[in-house]
Amino acid sequence: MLTKLRSARCGVRILNFIDVFEVPVILGGGPGGSVPKGGGLAISPVVEVEGKRLNLSNLDKVLYPASGFPKGQVIDYYARIAPALLPHLKGRPVTMKRYPDGVDSEYFYEKNAPKHRPDWVQTAPVWSRHNRRHINYLLVDDLPTLIWLANLASLEIHPSLALAKDINCPTMMVFDLDPGPPANVVQCAQVALWLRELFEQFGLKSFAKTSGSKGLQIYVPLNTATTYDATKGFAHAVARLLAERHPELVVSEMKKEVRGGKVFIDWSQNDEHKTTVSVYSLRARERPTVSTPVTWEEVEEAWTKKKVEKLVFEAGQVLERCDDMGDLFAPLLTLEQKLPKVAADGPAGVQIAAVAEPKQSPAKKSKSSTSRAKAARKR
């Protein structure tokens, strides 16, 4: 069966079966080509994706046993979400997280592009100081590459925060909110709202998405000249500040023993050696959940109503949301923002706190100054 995959807007089915060419493959065939009990006949289609030909394999292999979600549906999801997903991957080195036998079996990360890949798959060499060599990362810039990647059972896609052409300049800053049981995504919603409020005091816009796992992730688009040292230092200071303001719920330390019932603000993801799961990526959970962009109104509703299900979305729901709401993360591609300058002297947290201090009205400021003066005279 020659199948043509055509890119389309979000929510429009992309798999259109055309022409007549089938390659039947016997799964678990016994001697003489017989099909034993438990075996079956599968189709290994040759597909044409924007002029590129691919051999898809094991389309009926179930990768999410709890929901019966097979590899064919994984490929179908990525084909259909491609118009929204691809702009967020374009030009960025990508790390694959592959689950060849499904989410209940062993997985592995793959940074180096597989040697046996189509010649049209693009790569980008990135120097690794730790390995003292170049790593040949994948560039997932088009639909054929995305379908090829999905066919490798790379359920999760983890792009760099920087573009390959300027690998030391992150285009965004990320805060990964990780709840320690019994805390969950509801408590993450509260912390996310505190982060948004803090960023607003800096004049920065922020955007939220579910991790697709247990928590939330908050992004601040930059798209201006910066460094990982700057974004990581700023993110760490912000995490420490919120931990100081809300010690009952927030921690900024990585020690797992202090996270129980609290939300860890993982600031360390702002690093050239780390990646965060892509928006619209599937996650290797029990069910095919997706890292989904959400509105701040949805975050507020999840917190006020204490409803975990308000921030959990599976593949089919995400396609419908994208069709109805468009790409809520589109501003991350173009919005230009600069981090506030933090004084080099003194603890970063103190400097951040000074910048973030709510502005007082002249009357309040005058009253406050008078009170301090009286207190000084008493001393």
Over residues 224-270, the pLDDT tens digits come to: 999 999 999 999 999 999 999 999 999 999 888 888 999 999 999 99
In this prediction, residue 8 carries a pLDDT of 46
Name which of 31-45, 49-63, 77-91, 345-359 the model is least confident about: 31-45
338 pLDDT higher than 50: yes
Q: Considering only residues 286 and 254, tell me which one the structure prediction assigns the higher pLDDT.
A: 286
Mean of the per-residue pLDDT values of the chain = 84
Q: In which band, very low, low, confident or very high, does the pLDDT at 183 lie, cut at 50, 70 and 90? A: very high
208 pLDDT higher than 90: yes
17 pLDDT higher than 60: no
In this prediction, residue 257 carries a pLDDT of 82
141 pLDDT higher than 90: yes
pTM of the model: 0.84
In this prediction, residue 128 carries a pLDDT of 84
Q: In which band, very low, low, confident or very high, does the pLDDT at 356 lie, cut at 50, 70 and 90? A: low
Average pLDDT of the segment spanning 34-63: 73
82 pLDDT higher than 70: yes
Q: In which band, very low, low, confident or very high, does the pLDDT at 358 lie, cut at 50, 70 and 90? A: low
Average pLDDT of the segment spanning 325-342: 94
In this prediction, residue 378 carries a pLDDT of 45
Average pLDDT of the segment spanning 100-128: 95
Average pLDDT of the segment spanning 99-107: 97
**Percentage, residues of the chain above pLDDT 90:** 73
Residues in CB range of 200: below 8 A, 6 or more apart: none
97 pLDDT higher than 70: yes
In this prediction, residue 372 carries a pLDDT of 44
In this prediction, residue 171 carries a pLDDT of 98
Per-residue pLDDT reduced to its tens digit, 287-317: 999 999 999 999 999 999 999 999 999 999 9
Q: In which band, very low, low, confident or very high, does the pLDDT at 373 lie, cut at 50, 70 and 90? A: very low
5 pLDDT higher than 70: no
Q: Considering only residues 8 and 254, tell me which one the structure prediction assigns the higher pLDDT.
A: 254
- Phi-psi sector, 91: left (phi>0), alpha (psi -120 to 50), beta: left
Name which of 35-44, 53-62, 221-230 the model is least confident about: 35-44
In this prediction, residue 44 carries a pLDDT of 64
Burial-class residue 344 by CB neighbours within 10 Å (0-12, 13-18, 19+).
Answer: exposed
